[in-house]
Amino acid sequence: MASIPLSDSAIAAVKNSLRKEFPDVRSSHLSEALAAALDRKTHAALLVDVRAQAADPGIEYLDDERFDKRLHQFGYPPDPEFSFEILVEQPDCVISTMPISGFDIEYRSTRDKAWRNLMVLTINEGIRRRLFTLRPYDNRWPGADPEKRGHSDKGCVFEFHLPNGLPAKGYVGDAGFGELSIHAAVNPRGNWVGTMNAGFDAGDAIAQGWLERERGAWLQSSQEVLTCRRSLVKSLAGLEAVPKGFGDRGRVIL
């Protein structure tokens, strides 16, 4: 799935591309299907949310299956191959969340899943707090200077709780080239979460990785770094963690 800013201009641009992609579909039906893709029941409900976020729109998924299902409800034949990632005329506002390299990556082991969940939940919390967005260089934590576009930003440590109630600390720093360095610690100790390879000095589970934002928005997941107590691995792997507008797999970009 791709994602877009929840703004009037982005929605209008995607709608214009869809009209060219589906010339035989009524404009009102495309509007309703686009609203469904953005997880709204109606186009009117979508517009209400767009206006509410006008000053600083969030970035949300365009769900291919929900879009196709809504068009099918209007009587159009299903198109299971449709994807917002590969529109014939792709607007600049559409953010890719699935690089080609991502198709080769699977989270098979409990350790892989535990790492993935910790990273996703930490990124979600950073987005929720508006410490950063999925836009390249849009760093907002105290001391961040997105104009430098390099490694000179001071990172930010923040506290939160996992869905299972365990305390956690996250760290975000500028990794250069639009990327973010993301760390997470469960049952944290001190502020070691921001230190590379801190191991159990930082907590009972420590995950580290990078968030791509230049070529799209996805978790670089081909070189997982996880230090975790055995007693925690299974519970962390079982957490529900749905990314907020970014993909959860893609190779590390060197």
Hunting for tokens 């691995």 — which residue is that?
A: 233
How far is it, in rounded angstroms, from Cα 2 to Cα 109?
A: 26
Cβ-count burial of 129 within 10 angstroms (0-12 exposed, 13-18 middle, 19+ buried)?
middle
Same domain, 63 and 154: no
Whether residue 215 lies inside any domain: the answer is yes
Q: Are residues 13 and 123 in the same domain?
A: no
- pLDDT for the residue numbered 35: 98
| pTM of the shown model | 0.93
Nearest-CA neighbor of 240 among 165, 166, 173, 164?
Answer: 164
| pLDDT for res 150 | 55
Question: Cβ of 88: how many Cβ atoms within 10 Å?
Answer: 8
Cα distances (angstroms) measured from residue 14 to each of 3, 48, 60: 11, 18, 13
Of 94, 112, 137, which one is at a domain's C-terminal end?
94
247 in any annotated domain:
no
Residues 2, 13 contacting (CB under 8 angstroms): no
Residue with the two structure tokens 């200077």: 145
Write out the residue range of the structural domain in which residue 210 sits: 101-237
Number of domains in the chain: 2
Place of tokens 């299903």: 78
Give the Cα separation of 204 and 127 in Å (integer): 24
Low-confidence ranges of the chain (pLDDT < 70): 146, 148-153, 223, 253-254
**Judgement on whether residues 80 and 146 belong to the same structural domain of the protein:** no
State whether 107 and 173 are in the same domain.
Answer: yes
Q: Render pLDDT for 39-84 as a digit per residue (tens, 0 to 9).
A: 999 999 999 999 999 999 999 999 999 999 999 999 999 999 999 9
Q: Three-state SS for 41?
A: coil
Same domain, 89 and 200: no
Task: Please give the angle made by the CA atoms of 226, 228 and 233, to the nearest 5 degrees.
Answer: 105
Q: Which residue has the tokens 């800013």?
A: 5
Q: Does residue 138 lie within any of the structural domains?
A: yes
Can you give the pLDDT at residue 153? 60
